[in-house]
Amino acid sequence: MPSLTRAEARTRAALLTVDALAVDLDLDRDDRTFGSHTTLRFTCHEPGASTFADLRPETLHRATLNGRALDPASLADGRLPLPDLAAENVLEVEATMAYGHDGQGLHRATDPADDEDYVYGHLFLDAAPRVFACIDQPDLKAPYTVTVRAPRHWSVVGNGAARQVEPGRWQLATTQPLATYFVTVCAGPWVSVTGEHDGIPLGLHARASLAGPLREQADHMLATTRACLDHYHRLFGIRYPFGEYHQVFVPEFNAGAMENPGCVTFRDTYVFRGAATPDQVLERDNTIAHEMAHMWFGDLVTMRWWDDLWLNESFAEYMAYRTSAEALGAPETWVEFGIVRKLWGYAAERSPSTHPVAGSPAPDALSALQNFDGISYAKGAAVLRQLIAHIGDEAFVAGVTEYLRSHVFGNGELSEFLDAMGAAAGRSLEGWADAWLRTAGADRLALGRDGTLTRTAPDGVTDRPHTLDVAAFEGEREVLRVGVVLTEPRAAVDGVAAVGEGVVLVPNAGDLTWGEVVLDDTTLALLPRRLAEVPDPLARTVVWTSLVGGMHRAEVDPRLLLDVVERAWPLEDDASLLSRVGLVVTGSVVPVFLPPQERPAALARVAAAADVLAERAAGIPGAAGDAVAVLAARIWARSGSDLDRLRAWVSGDGLPAVLAGDDDFRWLVLRRLAALGALTDAELAAAEEADRSLAGRLAAMGVRASRPTAEAKAWAWERLRDDAELSNYGALELARGFWVGAGPEVLRPWVSEVGDLLAHLGERMGEDALARVAAALHPRGVVEEASLEASTALLARDDLSPGVHRALLDEDHVLREALGSRRRFG
């Protein structure tokens, strides 16, 4: 099916103005299909011309253009021809549509806890035609009036304020102009918590089986929502423009959240069923702030085409972290940014798929999906911090505000943004944009003991100015902190040469710029015994990020990283560092970068470090101690091999009190037992019976796939291949568990089969969901030269979509990095 090209979008945008859409959805039919009736009003600037509308129905019953019947057989490849247009046009379409099970279109999911169904619309990136007839491109925005018929015990939430006009019949208020991919309807027997702030009605909604956790956590989420609204109102002087503000926690959601105006959708794992650590709460707060920032960046002003995606995501990313620090009183959010988001972004920069922050080619809509990555998010946000260092915060805010005001309810692009920022700054920003926005790759920053700070740029990259600081730490004392504006390949930093040999040197210690840090050999040698003493959590973040990046570049032995984890990690205070470093070492360092024969001993060392952390937790009073105990238990459950302890934890014995009754933690322990080949059928059946929730059903799939037997792998593979009703989340759980547990001798037969399976899945799964499954299914789980040969053949196939190919290319790069590390360090 062809994807809309940029050239086609420009032609339609020059030809048409979309004036309004009325969409009527009938969700009270069966669990497979729904009815869709669309009335689309639009103006044609060249009467007599022809174009097409976008539509992907199961059955097209009727289509009329200006009262003239259109031949249903003319619909081909999702395009309905619209010939001989008048100046003012009305297109009416009546169709039967199919519910999605891949998280796209109108997704329908059943909660096994009570057998209730839930429906939500996720029309990103090009899924709107699976729900209603439209002109599907971001620069043809229009107001929507939506009506919905639903089962009588359901409630409906959408972009416009919803009211029930008769039993089972809902009317949503006409919206402000929206891009098609922002339209949503969420319907089901939701449990809801409502509120109001500054004249704005607020709502939180989740599945009925999550009623208890939602109500317990609602006060915190509503307080976060109110604080973010106030902050954005103060910052931009532009009020929230979309009426009511609802946040719906929906099942089987592909991303973290989606910024639908007035009705933001979140993955429902953000409603925590069990213990929630500070980093998890911080992540949820940040996601709330991120999606709200989109109400201005992306929703009020939308990029004209997908190559300016950064105008949406980079700004929302930066604004969310800034807001978390300033409005939510959480400066530790920048630690999370460094150890989670920047790690993601630096990995994307190392990959062959790297691209510029702005203006990355998006010749068609589907190719744009490849750029929703750590560059558009994390690097873009870091670049905005550098822009503020370059022009000052006052000019930055003034420029942003002018850009928003001058494009309200419209579309913008890079050149217009730069004009607004340049006017506010009183100078041209074209050179800055060339260096930071239009060229790919990360500079590498190194600080020598002689005080020389060097910047090594990727080949062909224009020199970038860096505003940063360097610091030196002797034990718990910060003995040096120097600010630097680096405009040349090298600069002398005063005071560094005078520090002693026992001092840890950290370039970019405040994590202010975007650049991969290379630590000097003396500092590397000091880290196992000195990193925990460094008093600045941002400096520790930079060090951890440098170690992980150095391992991927085959410059740091993964065994050194393991040494630092063993000695420094259990003494760490920041929850984000504890959580993310633990996940990296158990999910990447040990299973990918260490050879198989070293893994059991390495995991034993990690488990011992988790025990040290647990001992620390016992001495920390209150909620802070509980949080550390949870983090320690989670990492032990990923690395420990004491079967008696694992089985006791499954039964609830010997657990930290805060984890009592925590179903998600029990599944984590069961997954470890399964990977160790120690989980019986009876134990798994008992766990499934004890947790009949949607999360439990999905977790059980991953646990079954994690068993280290040929039979378990065959079961998982066949379920992926043959189960046409398998949801996006079910497929992802099976894929994530597939390469776990078993040795190479069990997994090798499947390495060369991945491509055929992905091509088969592509017949029933959308690009967004399948790209995630493809990343998990890539055979980097077997780190051998034969896997690289299979990966090379996989990338050469011509029957995989661009998004899937991009996901596989990134995983292929990680496999090459692991093999490179093995060749260097043995």
Dump pLDDT digits (tens) for 204-215: 999 999 999 999
CB 8 within 8 A of CB 366: no
Q: Provide the CATH number for the domain around residue 139.
A: 2.60.40.1730
Asked if the structure places residue 683 within a domain, the reply is no
Confidence of residue 1 (pLDDT cuts 50, 70, 90): low
Are residue 266 and residue 314 in the same domain, yes or no? no
Are residue 77 and residue 147 in the same domain, yes or no? yes
Closest by Cα among 789, 701, 779, 771 to 742: 779
Q: Which residues make beta-bridge pairs with 166?
A: 169
Looking at per-residue pLDDT, the higher value among 824 and 308 belongs to: 824
Residue 790 pLDDT > 90:
yes
C-alpha to C-alpha distance for 235 and 401, rounded to whole angstroms: 8
- Counting beta carbons within 10 angstroms of the beta carbon of residue 219, is it exposed (0 to 12), middle (13 to 18) or buried (19 or more)? exposed
Active-site residue, from 244, 291, 767, 817: 291
Asked if the structure places residue 18 within a domain, the reply is yes
Indicate the length of the chain as a whole number: 826
Are residue 194 and residue 181 in the same domain, yes or no? no
Residue 39 pLDDT > 80:
yes
Render 52-94 in DSSP notation, one character per residue: EEE---SEEEEEEETTEEPPGGG-BTTEEEE-S--SEEEEEEE
Are residue 403 and residue 355 in the same domain, yes or no? yes
Are residue 19 and residue 159 in the same domain, yes or no? yes
The tens digit of pLDDT for each residue in 708-728 reads: 999 999 999 999 999 999 999
Are residue 471 and residue 338 in the same domain, yes or no? no
Asked if the structure places residue 116 within a domain, the reply is no
Asked if the structure places residue 696 within a domain, the reply is no
Q: If you average pLDDT over residues 762-777, what whole number do you get?
A: 94
Asked if the structure places residue 584 within a domain, the reply is no
Q: If you average pLDDT over residues 132-147, what whole number do you get?
A: 98
Are residue 69 and residue 164 in the same domain, yes or no? yes
C-alpha to C-alpha distance for 348 and 807, rounded to whole angstroms: 11
Q: What percent of the chain is helix, strand and coil (3-state, nearest 5)?
A: 50, 20, 30
From residue 217, give the alpha-carbon distance in Å to each of 204, 214, 379. 10, 5, 32
Q: What is the pLDDT of residue 367?
A: 78
Confidence of residue 254 (pLDDT cuts 50, 70, 90): very high
Residue 459 pLDDT > 90:
no
Supply the mean pLDDT for the chain: 96
Closest by Cα among 440, 442, 628, 447 to 543: 447
The tens digit of pLDDT for each residue in 261-289 reads: 999 999 999 999 999 999 999 999 999 99
Q: What is the pLDDT of residue 360?
A: 73
C-alpha to C-alpha distance for 196 and 399, rounded to whole angstroms: 31
Percent with pLDDT over 70 in the chain: 100
CB 396 within 8 A of CB 388: yes
The tens digit of pLDDT for each residue in 667-678 reads: 999 999 999 999
The tens digit of pLDDT for each residue in 215-235 reads: 999 999 999 999 999 999 999
Residue 460 pLDDT > 90:
no
Asked if the structure places residue 565 within a domain, the reply is no
Residue 369 pLDDT > 80:
no
Closest by Cα among 22, 16, 12, 250 to 132: 22
C-alpha to C-alpha distance for 101 and 181, rounded to whole angstroms: 18
Query: By mean pLDDT, which of 78-82, 86-90, 703-707, 801-805 is the weakest?
Result: 801-805
Q: Any catalytic annotation for residue 291?
A: yes
Instruction: Supply angle C-alpha 388, 436, 446, rounded to 5.
Output: 90
How would you write 584-596 as a 3-class SS string?
A: HHHHHHHHHHCCH
Residue 265, phi then psi, degrees to nearest 5: -105, 140
Q: Which of residues 171, 186, 201 is at a domain's end?
A: 186
Are residue 328 and residue 400 in the same domain, yes or no? yes
Q: Which of residues 186, 205, 238 is at a domain's end?
A: 186
Are residue 456 and residue 374 in the same domain, yes or no? no
Strand order in the sheet with 490-492: 490-492, 452-456, 444-447, 516-518
C-alpha to C-alpha distance for 118 and 189, rounded to whole angstroms: 7
CB 99 within 8 A of CB 105: yes
Are residue 68 and residue 169 in the same domain, yes or no? yes
Closest by Cα among 771, 763, 779 to 818: 779
Strand order in the sheet with 144-149: 68-69, 59-65, 88-98, 33-44, 16-26, 144-149, 169-172, 162-166
From residue 712, give the alpha-carbon distance in Å to each of 107, 159, 587, 640, 742. 29, 44, 21, 22, 10
Are residue 311 and residue 279 in the same domain, yes or no? no
The tens digit of pLDDT for each residue in 522-569 reads: 999 999 999 999 999 999 999 999 999 999 999 999 999 999 999 999
Asked if the structure places residue 107 within a domain, the reply is no
Are residue 179 and residue 204 in the same domain, yes or no? no
From residue 432, give the alpha-carbon distance in Å to each of 386, 428, 429, 479, 510. 10, 8, 5, 33, 22
Q: Provide the CATH number for the domain around residue 212.
A: 1.10.390.10
Q: Which of residues 295, 325, 341 is at a domain's end?
A: 295
Q: If you average pLDDT over residues 232-255, what whole number do you get?
A: 97
CB 293 within 8 A of CB 320: yes
Q: If you average pLDDT over residues 307-333, what whole number do you get?
A: 95
Closest by Cα among 257, 244, 243, 236 to 203: 244
Residue 361 pLDDT > 90:
no
C-alpha to C-alpha distance for 54 and 35, rounded to whole angstroms: 17
Asked if the structure places residue 589 within a domain, the reply is no
- For the chain, what is the domain count? 5
Residues 6+ apart with CB under 8 A from 407: 301, 416
- Domain range for residue 72? 1-98+126-186
Q: What is the pLDDT of residue 445?
A: 97
